[in-house]
Amino acid sequence: MAKRLEGKVAVITGGTSGIGLATAKLFHEEGARVLVTGSNPRTLEAARTELEGIAEVVQSDAGDRAQIEALFDRVQKDLGGLDVLFLNAGILVHGTLATLDEAQFDEAFRVNVKGAWLALKAATPLLRAGGAVVLNSSITNAMGTPGSGAYGASKAALRSLGRTAASELADQGVRVNVISPGPTDTGIIEKSGGAADVIAGTKQRLRERSPQKRLGASEEIARAVLFLASDDASYMTGEEIVVDGGMTRV
């Protein structure tokens, strides 16, 4: 069977772990030349080992304008253009109206929303006709979950940004779609802080809420991202695909 991203250049922001890392491997298997970004030196180092021969790993803060512009300048210079952009970098902040502070709110919007807007802005001139952008939102973009105020709002903003970008990039021949995963076992919950027993309790509650009684795996999200990034989804733009084991429907 023909590879679905043969000869394509793909950039994945936040590709050093979890969903982005799994997607980098899948894009490579499907023939793409892949570049991933991250911000944490330790994770970047581990990813360089794990992705050797699979993807180039570049340090670039997904919320910083200068670093984002430098990233896409490099993509233009070294790779000559762009076919697939997966805006995946994101952080989970957890806190209620009473407990979340302003700095955490700002950081969620800096990385999850402003960074995606800046990346779209910088990448637009590079994106070739037939190209595809996928934004990683979350099922929290449409749910009222205690403690998800800032995170859910940032992911709703991202979904909105995706629809606007779909309309603006249509004439350029570029499709823009959104993927909204449900709880996926990546380590993002652990990174959001909190004691080990609280994290374990959160994950157990999420498993119990799921019709499949489990969390998703990164590879299960990556396969849906590949679908949207490839010509298999050639008649889809401005769309959102929910991959959550039925949590929001069943």
Ligand X SMILES: NC(=O)c1ccc[n+]([C@@H]2O[C@H](COP(=O)([O-])OP(=O)(O)OC[C@H]3O[C@@H](n4cnc5c(N)ncnc54)[C@H](OP(=O)(O)O)[C@@H]3O)[C@@H](O)[C@H]2O)c1
Q: Could you tell me where the DSSP H helices lie in the chain?
A: 18-29, 41-50, 65-79, 102-109, 115-123, 149-169, 188-191, 196-209, 218-229
Site of interaction with ligand X (CB under 6 A): 14-20, 37-40, 43-44, 61-63, 88-92, 111, 136, 138, 181, 183-184, 186-188, 191
Minimum Å distance from CB 216 to ligand X? Answer: 7
Residue (166 or 215) nearer to ligand X, CB: 215
Token code pair at residue 247:
């949590």
Rounded to an integer, what distance in angstroms lies between the CA atom of residue 70 and that of residue 32?
22
Minimum Å distance from CB 1 to ligand X? Answer: 27
Minimum Å distance from CB 39 to ligand X? Answer: 3
Residue (131 or 183) nearer to ligand X, CB: 183
Q: Could you tell me where the DSSP H helices lie in 30-113?
A: 41-50, 65-79, 102-109
Residue (131 or 152) nearer to ligand X, CB: 152
Minimum Å distance from CB 40 to ligand X? Answer: 4
Rounded to an integer, what distance in angstroms lies between the CA atom of residue 117 and that of residue 113?
6
Active site (annotated) includes residue 235: no
Which among 151, 162, 175, 245 is annotated as catalytic?
Answer: 151
Rounded to an integer, what distance in angstroms lies between the CA atom of residue 37 and that of residue 179?
19
Q: How far is CA 134 from CA 110, 112, 189, in A?
A: 19, 14, 22
Rounded to an integer, what distance in angstroms lies between the CA atom of residue 181 and that of residue 193?
20
Count of alpha carbons within 13 angstroms of residue 105, beta-carbon side: 11
Q: How far is CA 239 from CA 25, 121, 124, 141, 228, in A?
A: 24, 20, 19, 14, 9
Residue (7 or 146) nearer to ligand X, CB: 146
Residue (138 or 230) nearer to ligand X, CB: 138
Minimum Å distance from CB 171 to ligand X? Answer: 28
Instruction: Give the residue numbers annotated as catalytic, written as ranges.
Output: 151
